Structure 1
Amino acid sequence: MENHLDVISANDFERQKAIPNESFDFVFANNFHENAEFIDRTLAIGGLAAIEMTQNPSFVFDKPLHYKIVYVRRFDSNIIAMRKLDNMTEANSATSRRLLSTLDEKKAALRNLEDVLLEPPRAASGRSRRYLNRPRYLPDLTGDTLESYPRRVFIDVVLPWHDKKATGTEWFLKNYPTRNLHFETYKIETMTEELSAAAREGVEATEEGGMSSWLRNNVKEEEYVVMKAEAEVVEEMLKSKAIRLVDELFLECRTKNKGQSNKEKGGSRAYWECLALYGRLTDEGVAVHQWWG
């Protein structure tokens, strides 16, 4: 039997769509999380996925539950080989994190989110203030009772220059459709300077770039996760694909005032950059809302 090697870019989505399901018996990838959906779809049951592990300590490898590690070896980097035991179906839905099982189904639900503001509130019409009070929450869009999740979590991520008296947790508990179910709440301060500056009562701290690691160490695929976070933190989670652990996100994206430098207020950005980030999040299947504080 003739064997041949296909090299497929993680960003070549048209080529990926053209590959039939369960076409491959062996896959080699240097970033499983970034390509997990494509690998799982195209790898046959019983096939092997060999993964080159990153040296970045912020990335924690989470083995899918329908895979079994069969080989680990150190070369120039660590290599893990996993065998695919079965397909992710309703039979193992207890380990599936959402009622919406595919990215296309998630995106279909997200089309019913409130429209994004094309200008920030201070520049938009007077109707924007009424808009701010009308987010279309994910459980309402999907009809999810939230009862099937073993754990429900809200994470309020703040940066060092935020007002420490302000809290998204109070807003969340007052406004979010919790269905009268318990949500564990966390306030996490991401640090860009010395960690000792974060030793405040009731506030956990994580090193800069460490929110992805915190998520992977503290929440699981099958849990329901809501988060409020600033754009700088969200971009890091997008890069590592840890954002896929978040079901619903309230995105705070600070925009520049006239004459403001890039370093002021955490590197505020042009509003079009905020809109581009919003689009990238919906492409990942995250229910995202604009947060204005």
Structure 2
Amino acid sequence: MNSRKPVFSKYAPPLKLIIYGMLLAFLLLTCLAVIWNKSYPNLSTAALGRQQVEECRVLEYRRKLIPRLEPLILEEPLEIWEGLGNQEKNVKYLPSMIDLSTNARFIYIDLGARDYDSSIGSWFLKQYPKQNKTFEIYAVEADKAFHKQYESREGVTLLPYAAWVKNETVVFGSKPIIVKDKVWRMRPFGRIEGQTAEADGLSAVTRVPAFDFVDWLKRTVRERDFVVVKMDVEGTEIRLVEELVERGAMCLIDELFMECHFDRYVKCCSGERINRFNYSYAQCYDLFSQLRNEGCAVHQWW
């Protein structure tokens, strides 16, 4: 019995030509994908985060500077410190160790700016070494009580929102500290506590608009810019830092001054702690250490 041979058209292309054609098509699609990602970097938030983690790397020279920063405070301070606390004279600022002449822009972002002299006027403009560079200043403050004073401040842009990881309305306010069934004093609280404060019947609450700070940062600054951030956001800093890392934006910040809020001892209560943030000083210390290990020039703010 004769085996049947397959019938080919006389116009059928050779096998090698088919393979070469497939390879060329693959290369063409790959090139188009690269061009698409460069032209439209905000199409997919999840994919963008993974991509930025790979592309947005901490520069090697910055990693080498981390050991030259002031040591972190190992033991929890029992006193209430403000700003840079007792470390103010020991702080090693990045501009005291590097040359800023190669940077494109110079930007200072104050998250939780409060009033102008809280940190912008009293600390950044007077004490931070700027190498005669003019910094663009952004004051991020949701409390309307502080907004008017920024109207006459040249060179300062007010962002009247709360710094958060998405655009939404959040709750801020104050709640009582109760000691032995009596109100000792009212204390402010941030977005984290605001989730439950409305239901306790004791807190004074207000709703404020919040914005996606991570997204704003990625749209506003570039890697060639020199960016300084002060972060004092009443317990929201943990989530903000997580999002900055996961979405590939942390390396856009050259120097970070961050207050990590933890449950402190208070003098009124015989050594008792107020469980305000459910976060310990040891956890804060570990967070600072981890950030420095990753190449972030972070300082403790109080």
**How does the TM-score come out when normalised to structure 1?**
0.55
Q: Quick one: structure 1 residues 166 and 255, their matched pair in 2 at CA, closer, same or farther if it must change by over 3 Å?
A: farther
Partner of residue 251 from structure 2, selected from 235, 239, 244: 244
How many Å apart are 1:173 and its aligned residue? 1.1
How many Å apart are 1:147 and its aligned residue? 2.1
Residues 125-149 of structure 1: CA deviation (Å, up to 9, x unaligned): xxx964332200112223x1x1221
Residues 204-252 of structure 1: CA deviation (Å, up to 9, x unaligned): 1256311111101111111000110133333332232311100001111
| Distance across 2 between alignment mates of 1:206 and 1:57 | 26
Partner of residue 119 from structure 2, selected from 158, 165, 168: 168
| Distance across 2 between alignment mates of 1:226 and 1:152 | 8
Structure with higher helix content: 2
| Distance across 2 between alignment mates of 1:288 and 1:154 | 14
Partner of residue 270 from structure 1, selected from 266, 280, 286: 280
Tell me if the contact between 2:52 and 2:247 (Cα under 8 Å) persists in the aligned partners: no
Q: What's 1:157 paired with? A: 111
Partner of residue 139 from structure 2, selected from 178, 187, 194: 187
Give 1:3-42 correspondences, 5 Å limit: none
Q: What is the aligned residue count?
A: 197
**How does the TM-score come out when normalised to structure 2?**
0.54
Q: What's 2:64 paired with? A: 108
Given the alignment of the two structures, is residue 285 of structure 1 paired with residue 295 of structure 2, yes or no? yes
Given the alignment of the two structures, is residue 147 of structure 1 paired with residue 147 of structure 2, yes or no? no
Tell me if the contact between 2:50 and 2:248 (Cα under 8 Å) persists in the aligned partners: no
Q: Residue 90 of structure 2: SS of its match in structure 1?
A: coil
Tell me if the contact between 2:85 and 2:301 (Cα under 8 Å) persists in the aligned partners: no
Q: What's 1:122 paired with? A: 78
Q: Match of 1:139, as an amino acid?
A: P
Q: Match of 1:213, as an amino acid?
A: D
Given the alignment of the two structures, is residue 259 of structure 1 paired with residue 210 of structure 2, yes or no? no
Q: Residue 111 of structure 1: SS of its match in structure 2?
A: helix
| Distance across 1 between alignment mates of 2:90 and 2:54 | 37
Q: Match of 1:110, as an amino acid?
A: I
Q: Residue 133 of structure 1: SS of its match in structure 2?
A: helix
Q: Match of 1:186, as an amino acid?
A: Y
Tell me if the contact between 1:150 and 1:222 (Cα under 8 Å) persists in the aligned partners: yes
